[in-house]
Structure 1
Amino acid sequence: MTDLVVRSDQVYTPDGPRPAAVRVHHGRITAVLDRSSTVDAARDVDLGDLALLPGLVDTHVHVNEPGRTEWEGFATATAAAAAGGVTTILDMPLNSLPPTVTAAALEVKRAAAGGQCVVDVGFWGGAIPGNLHDLAGLHEAGVFGFKCFLSPSGVDEFPPLDWPGLDAVLAALSTMDALLIVHAEDAAELDAAPAAGASYPDFLASRPESAEARAIDGLLTRAARHRARAHVLHLSSAASLTRIAEARAAGARVTAETCPHYLTLAAERIPDGATEFKCCPPIRGEDNRDRLWRGLADGVVDCVVSDHSPSTPELKRGGFGEAWGGVSSLQLGLPAVWTEARRRGHPLAAVVRWMASATADLAGLSRKGRIAPGHDADLVAFAPDEEFTVDAGTLRHRHPITPYAGARLRGVVHRTWLRGREIDGEPTGVLLSRERNV
């Protein structure tokens, strides 16, 4: 007997939405059938006109546990993910203590996560000055790739690479065919910029587009030289889209992501003192946002991820110069992006591609991000036309801080399944390692 069948008028398969019945056995999708197919199943769920999406894969999440669990932790972060239709997250290597820059530190992180996660969780390693000899061990231990900064990260224990250091890391990772994911803001450009003041325009001036452009250009040049795989994190500036497209056309093995806040928010609408909007690189202007959407639609930007980077309320106080730079949005990424995508004429299938299949591909998760036979039965029942007003106090992440508070969004997650089991708060998530055949 099949374990589960889920039926819907709108099943979002890799070929697009259609009425279908998804058959699940032992946590995997075994078939996508005609909607009315007769199946002998232990559970048969009919969603009616609710859309059935693959579980989203968010490859950019700062969980911060252990060491800074008061900022966020695995229990709260994964609960927020599940409520937002995200069934797999990859945890960033910094803000936790110790940072994930050695194989031993990875084991500390995995031990902290064990028994807490309601969705599946994987881990990035870190590349910092002095840990070049640790990269092979981390790779062998199953991290999905390596993160570095080209400017200060905000925490002293995760310093940035200089250009020679980046060259050395790319050379080392190219021998493993490992992915380097890069916070691309140039330190010298940031040092030359004016200091952040109290107003948002002052903060924006302190993180100029030139800092992203110079860092991305340097990264692309070096990645091409070493034939290394490189990924531009949280692209905020549309000025670098042409350079990324040119590098890719010339054969560079480069990808790029952006985030919901860069696609849905705009500098012109951020009030002074509203530090819940502060992130690095910053949210830029409306024209830039329009160009980012074009880059996403054209395929220059590959995927959309949250960059969920929470902190305590105390750290978000003060001016834009002092407050912690991070947006809390893990639970709201899908409705935020869908609201704006719909307004711009993009179909829900495109959002699914940007936030599920493309992110799964980035991480090499061959069984995630698609409703197709052989894939994990990570499924989301989603009402694309239902609207709600964001009440920060009801969100599942640890602290009720978000720039979306009070926003009217479209798209509501009704139910979420992980490997065919409906998520109910029990910690049944698996700690993932990189697939060795990828």
Structure 2
Amino acid sequence: MHSGRLKVDEYRDNFADIHPPLSWHEARMASDRCLYCEAAPCITACPTHINVPSFIHRIATHNIDGAAQTILDANILGGSCARVCPTEILCEQACVRNKEPECLPVAIGLLQRFAIDNRSENHHPFTRKASTGKSVAVVGAGPAGLACAHRLSRFGHDVTLYDAKPHSGGLNEYGIAAYKLVEDYAQKEIEFVLGLGGIHPQYEKRLGKDMSLDTLRETFNAVFLAPGLGGSNSLGLSGEHCQGVEDAIKAIDRLRQTRQLNTLPVGRRVIVIGGGNTAIDIACQSKRLGADEVTLVYRRGAEDMSATDHEQAFARDNGIRIIHWARLSSIETVEGHLKAVTFTRTQINDNGLLKDTEEHFHLPADTLYKAIGQHLLEDCFAQCSEPPAIEAGRIATDMNFKTSLDNVWAGGDCILQGDNLTVQAVEHGKQAALAIDRFLNDERG
């Protein structure tokens, strides 16, 4: 592994914003394309149900603060979601402009970013109701936790926001490719969220170590769990713990927290195992850090990858070689360092199940990133006399995000609902806050 392979301006260019913001002229032109559909399919396609035609109409009529208010009422993290959401499979895929003769959706994501970025900052768009005297603990300061905390504070409840990390943000701060959220945007957005008041952050507090769920339930009127998925899945292979093999999410975290990218080590021949957005992010960032060769290997076909077609195309545009239908079968090391990896070709059998073939291939490598999914760290309930029910390795909830415990709700990646998207986590937090508010109002009644 070596560092400083590129010139300073190359690092700057490689990690610049991949979706530059619209100018005022571009925003006006883009907003004029919206048909303001009465039964707008883009609203239904948005997990947070932003009234898309409404905010775009406000942009077209130069009411930028009104546009931003429409977005933030539905999605308090509308700024980051405008940057990281896969709009191509959500609102923009549903846009009626996709039909002939144009076959090109309205640029909803970019217009959403334009509205948020250009709103007036002279006043906060939300105010708190009078204090209810009720308190809620929110565990996890990622998108779900932040959305829940903000909504509860708007209702007048007092919120203590716990997180195991030194900063709020969750994956927006620690797990998103650096070129998607530039210029410390995640922290700027968090400052805006906390600017409402009534939300009290407590950092470097890990559930199961620094506090227990039992204590939180006794201390607060309600608890919202959004700890994310802190554990990375294992390859289960000999040599997995050698130097050169690393969890992709940890590597992305390190990159996100590094100010001088030329100090980061990067391998010459990098292998990425996985088929999701994290795999794409670490592969592209490795290439942009100066890796000579980056190969992403997935055990099934392109259509089975959880990364969108857009993300896969982006990887190819970045010079990433993608190999499908191959499974990592062995790791070769020399004196504790990664040297090469062997893959076994896979296929689908007559029963529709994945199986190995007799074909193998060998790739030299000095770095291998594991992006094969994460799991809930159940030791967060180690000190708990009555943990919430767990289903398929995640916290079980009903449709209102209520757990098996009478005053505990959960949302975000730690539950089974949704596809682990930032925008879905925001909706989890928002809907859980509504349910918690109803519960607290019943308590007061």
TM-score interval for Structure 1 and Structure 2 normalised by the shorter chain? under 0.3
Question: Which structure dedicates a bigger proportion of its chain to strand?
Answer: 1
TM-score (norm 1): 0.25
Question: Which structure dedicates a bigger proportion of its chain to helix?
Answer: 2
- Where relative contact order (Cα < 8 A, 6+ residues apart) is larger, the structure is 1
TM-score (norm 2): 0.25
